[in-house]
């Protein structure tokens, strides 16, 4: 069983060790316990990707001349993750990683059975977002045509809002997070391993049941995230001139 120390206790321990070392009575190397960073983490992005991420952040936190947030829904989603105690890495899909037309996805990288600190990843496919078709054929059941009227960085922000909505909906409920781990991610791994091992053969009945259960759960999750995405899209299009001016100034 791992022990958890409060921050004041750690401070007191360090002070004691430093005092002993300064008197010359003891020689020691202080090894601090490693702590997993929480919130939105961008350490997996390259320097060029960080530039693109900074442009997305400019959109998220854009303000009007009265310093009122233009996109409060996006900011609220972002700030929940930052203060949640969970770790959410940001990644951009590389050219060689792209096998579908998915704009983004959310996955749990390390499930915490206590629900205290899950480690998850939001992966954005900027290439797919850039190349996405925008037109009547993509109109969703809720009426939204994704990306309609938005420029490049605003599209990225829309997809980010969708994935942040997934993150919050899943990480706030331990049972839901466990279902994502077991019903979606494990099923995907089983499907991938079986496809590699017996390519061209039929899918076993047990796997078919798993796939049916997975797809029903995915539809439930997507309905929630799409509703939030529509709100984000409305805010992005409503304040487009102000946010575009802010982004142009950032690039000067």
Q: Show pLDDT as tens, one digit a residue, over the chain (252 residues).
A: 323 333 344 344 334 333 433 445 444 454 444 578 999 999 999 999 999 999 999 999 999 999 999 999 999 999 999 999 999 999 999 765 555 678 999 999 999 999 999 999 999 999 999 999 999 999 999 999 999 999 999 999 999 999 999 999 999 999 999 999 999 998 888 887 776 555 555 567 888 898 999 999 999 999 999 999 999 999 999 977 655 555 455 444
CA 9 distance to own-chain centroid? 33
pLDDT of residue 248: 53
pTM: 0.78
Contacts of 95 (CB under 8 A, 6+ apart): 127
How far is 167 from 86, CA to CA, in rounded Å?
10
Mean residue pLDDT across the chain:
82
DSSP-based three-state secondary structure for 115? coil
| Contact present, 73 and 236 (Cβ < 8 Å) | no
Burial of 237 (0-12, 13-18, 19+ CB in 10 A): middle
| Residue 101: per-residue pLDDT | 76
Please report, for residues 85, 210, 242, the alpha-carbon distance to residue 77 in angstroms, rounded to integers and kept in the order given.
14, 31, 21
Question: Between the CA atoms of 176, 179, 185 and 191, what dihedral angle is there, to the nearest 10 degrees?
Answer: -150
φ/ψ of residue 26, rounded to 5 = -150, 145
């Amino acid at each position: 069983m791992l022990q958890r120390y409060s921050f004041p206790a750690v401070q007191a321990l360090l002070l004691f060790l430093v005092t002993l070392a300064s008197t010359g009575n003891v020689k020691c190397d202080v090894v601090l316990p490693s702590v997993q960073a929480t919130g939105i983490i961008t350490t997996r992005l390259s320097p060029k990707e960080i530039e693109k991420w900074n442009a997305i952040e400019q959109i998220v936190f854009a303000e009007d001349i009265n310093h009122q947030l233009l996109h409060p829904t996006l900011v609220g989603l972002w700030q929940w993750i930052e203060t949640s105690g969970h770790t959410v890495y940001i990644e951009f899909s590389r050219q060689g990683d792209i096998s579908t037309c998915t704009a983004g996805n959310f996955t749990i990288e390390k499930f915490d059975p206590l629900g205290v600190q899950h480690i998850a990843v939001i992966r954005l496919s900027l290439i797919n977002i850039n190349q996405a078709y925008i037109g009547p054929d993509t109109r969703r059941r809720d009426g939204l045509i994704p990306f309609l009227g938005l420029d490049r960085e605003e599209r990225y922000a829309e997809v980010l809002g969708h994935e942040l909505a997934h993150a919050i909906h899943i990480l706030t409920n331990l049972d839901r997070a466990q279902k994502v781990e077991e019903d979606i991610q494990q099923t995907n791994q089983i499907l991938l391993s079986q496809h590699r091992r017996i390519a061209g053969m039929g899918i076993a009945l047990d796997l078919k049941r798993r796939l049916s259960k997975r797809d029903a759960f995915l539809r439930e999750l997507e309905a929630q995230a799409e509703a939030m995405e529509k709100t984000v899209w409305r805010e992005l299009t409503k304040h487009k001139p102000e946010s575009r001016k802010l982004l142009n100034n950032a690039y000067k």
